[in-house]
Structure 1
Amino acid sequence: MSYIIEKSLISDLLDIQEDLKNIQKNLQSLLPDDSLLFDARLILDELICNGIRHGNKEERERLVNLLIEVSEKHLKIEIKDEGEGFKYERDNYDPTALTLGGRGLKIVDGLSDEFYVQDNRVISIKYL
């Protein structure tokens, strides 16, 4: 059996805080341990912020669509924004560069067992 959370969020980080708290409460009841919950919250926060800031350029009327699936075997977090999309090159990230961008996705990539970027859609999968 799996549990699915679907939500469309406006591109305003302050106005979605209550939605994020509710999603995190749901995840807390579904995930088996605190370590996994911590990773899930970090992945979720990074991907939503990335979608709002970089994808939707913080244009409030643009939506970030969220799909979370929790099954006995995995946690899948999928985020899709209304931006143009981009090509993620995991091997080209330089952690010593102080430029804006890339750090959050690299963190999510490291926390994920599987990680995919397809245009304006990002998928993180963690095995349970």
Structure 2
Amino acid sequence: MNTISIEIPSLVENIRIVESFIDNAKDKYQLDDDLYGNIMIAVLESVNNAIIHGNKLEKSKFVQLSMILEETSVTFLIKDEGNGFVINDLPDPTSPENLTKPGGRGIFLMKHLADEVSFKDNGQEVKLTFYLN
């Protein structure tokens, strides 16, 4: 099992650091292109949520990102310092009244791109697991 972790201040421009982190993991562990695409979108959505909604763009608060590579899967843990949220209270992005709204699809995307998605600590930690072929 290999684990790599980074911690970034809650600034939207730091998403570039996360992109590089994922690019480096793709190269180092030879992740295939489809898996890489799913990881990139799901992890970026999660980190964006942590920066914007969790830490409220407070640059004194950090987002922790860890990647755990195992024989059959790769897992990403994204943790913020916010107050969390209630997953069941989120509006359904597929309902007609929400289709034209600019946001609200992050968790929906994560659930469709990752093989497993779970939330801990009132949503302060997101676990995204992708199975390796």
Q: CA deviation at 1:21?
A: 3.9
Q: 2:113 corresponds to which letter in structure 1?
A: L
**When you count helix as a share of all residues, which structure comes out higher?**
2
- Match 2:109 to one of 100, 107, 110: 107
Task: Report how many residues are paired.
Answer: 126
Q: TM-score under structure 1 normalisation?
A: 0.87
Moved over 3 A (4+): 98-102
Q: CA deviation at 1:112?
A: 1.5
Match of 1:26 in 2: 24
| Contact 2:77–2:128 (Cα < 8 Å) also in 1 | yes
| Contact 2:15–2:48 (Cα < 8 Å) also in 1 | no
Q: 1:8 corresponds to which letter in structure 2?
A: E
Percent of aligned positions with the same letter in both sequences?
A: 28
Residues 115 and 83 from structure 1, CA distance in 2 versus in 1: closer, same or farther, beyond 3 angstroms? same
Q: 1:122 corresponds to which letter in structure 2?
A: V
| Contact 1:87–1:117 (Cα < 8 Å) also in 2 | no
Q: 2:13 corresponds to which letter in structure 1?
A: L
Alignment of 1:74-113 (within 5 A): 74-89=73-88, 93-95=92-94, 96=96, 97=98, 98-99=100-101, 101-113=103-115
Q: Distance in 1 between matches of 2:75 and 2:89?
A: 20
Match of 1:7 in 2: 6
Q: 2:108 corresponds to which letter in structure 1?
A: K
Q: TM-score under structure 2 normalisation?
A: 0.84
Structure 1 portions without partners, runs of 5+: none
Matched position secondary structure for 1:84: coil
Matched position secondary structure for 1:14: helix
| Contact 2:7–2:65 (Cα < 8 Å) also in 1 | yes
Structure 2 portions without partners, runs of 5+: none
Give deviations 1:23-55, integer Å, cap 9, x for gaps. Answer: 123221214310001111111110110000000
RMSD: 2.0
Alignment of 1:30-69 (within 5 A): 30-69=29-68
